[in-house]
Amino acid sequence: MATKKLTTDSGAPYFEHQDSQTVGPRGPVLLQDFILQENLAHFVRERIPERIVHAKGSGAYGKFTVTHDISKYTKAKLFSKVGNECRMFARFSTVGGEKGSADTERDPRGFALKFYTEDGNWDLVGNNTPVFFIKDAKKFPDFIHTQKRIPKTNLKSATMKWDFWSFNPESLHQVLILMSDRGTPYGYRHMHGFGSHTFSMINNDHERVWVKFHFKSKQGIKNFTAEDAQKMSGENPDFAQEDLVNAIENNEFPKWTLFIQVMTEEQAQEFRWNPFDVTKVWFHDEFPLLEVGEMELNEIPDNFFAHVEQATFSPSNLISGISFSPDKMLQGRLFSYPDAHRYRVGVNSHLLEVNRCPFSVNNYKRDGAMANSSNYKDAPNYYPNSFDEIKADSDYKFLEYDLDSTRVAHFNRNENDDDHYTQPGLLYTKAMNQEDRAHLIKNIVDSMNDISGPKREEIINRQLCHFFRANIELGMKIAIGLQVNIDANMMTHTKSHE
């Protein structure tokens, strides 16, 4: 193998890499040792701001293959025929923990996917749960603050978590999932993934349907118990990362099957709940899972920082034939995610290898930090112009539609949509077995026992009311575990939600 010369960032070869230039063997270091300056200056800038959420993550490249025809629902070229393939990148993560935290902690898991398609990059940025804690993005900063650290002590706090949840019963569905064994998955390979939000698909006849995306793990669901997850956090805080790397390096490529649920606009008008509420699910017996394709991860990036750390995802990265919905959380993410990337990585983060569309990119965005002009060189930076050949294609025209209302106001997110208990109750009684329910109750009791301070009793009682309204047995067992005397008021209005 041919040797390569050691060079500076500008390509100039140099020799002295280990010893600084000094005045005599024990003298002071000279400012003119520009190699020292360059190496140290780069070193102290080797980290970019940590993600506010999803900081601890793992990633891999792979491929997506279409196995079933859904072209009647979408004009997306990716889904135009069975057998179509595209390269993709996946990043899995915890949500609340810092970059150095354990990846087995109790937390939802991010499930972010980037599909490199001929019509542009499509990002599906979801979680390992089909629902979320809140239904309006305006509440997101407050919610995340409760999952982080108290300003004074810099410690995490069960008190502020349960205080927030007790004031927001819309969180109950996700809280029950989080506090079950699904809150501590056995690595990333053994969990399902969900787009979580409602999206839309548009076909060649300009017909729209609402859809939800489900990725079912072909490895099967496997979770840690609370005790095993805590033990693993101490033994190997990078368990999930190591598990993913080892599987792919051993050619045991993890796979997921993509399914969609489809709801017509007419069905959306008649649906029992708001179909765009991310705290709710669509029942499978009403809206069955339709198989679409298979995702396989088969390549660990050769540089974690360049690919996994600098990867950026946004629900606004959509392709023709797939679009958004009135989901308030989704609408907020359409702005905040790209804005986060511009701050964290830079205005030209989309030019980095992991984020760059491998097909044609033509627009009039120029300059900014770390600009790479290799694609546009001296081409015009304005439109229209007389010199380039960029034309807007009417085939990609946005679907026009009418809104249900023209009234502008701050609408109460829960008005006529305040059933926060039926679906959590069904999750407890129908989706969980006896062991699942026992683990759920123990995990909740253990967590709520850490609530402290003068408002402890108030927070516990407020949250117990939500458990009782979801299911009386659930509320009773948690109350007994917390050694709380049951107030009859907690059990009012519960029978319809059992």
Contact 167, 420 (CB under 8 A): no
Helical (H) or strand (E) element with 470:
helix 456-470
**Catalytic: which of 17, 42, 54, 168?**
54
The verdict on whether residue 396 carries a ligand-binding annotation is no
Residue 127 falls in the annotated catalytic set: yes
Max CA pair span of the chain: 87
DSSP 8-state symbol, 78: G
Contact 94, 54 (CB under 8 A): yes
**Catalytic: which of 121, 127, 128, 355?**
127
Using DSSP, state whether 419 is helix, strand or coil.
coil
The two structure tokens encoding residue 447: 């967590």
Contact 183, 113 (CB under 8 A): no
Instruction: For the beta carbon of residue 486, count every other beta carbon within 10 angstroms.
Output: 13
DSSP 8-state symbol, 222: -
HSE value, Cβ hemisphere, 13 Å, CA-based, for 423 = 26
CA pair distance 346, 338, nearest whole angstrom = 10
Among 188, 276, 205, CA closest to 239: 188
φ/ψ of 259, rounded to 5, equals -125, 155
Q: Which residues are annotated as a binding site for heme?
A: 337
- Residues forming the active site: 54, 127
Binding residues: 337
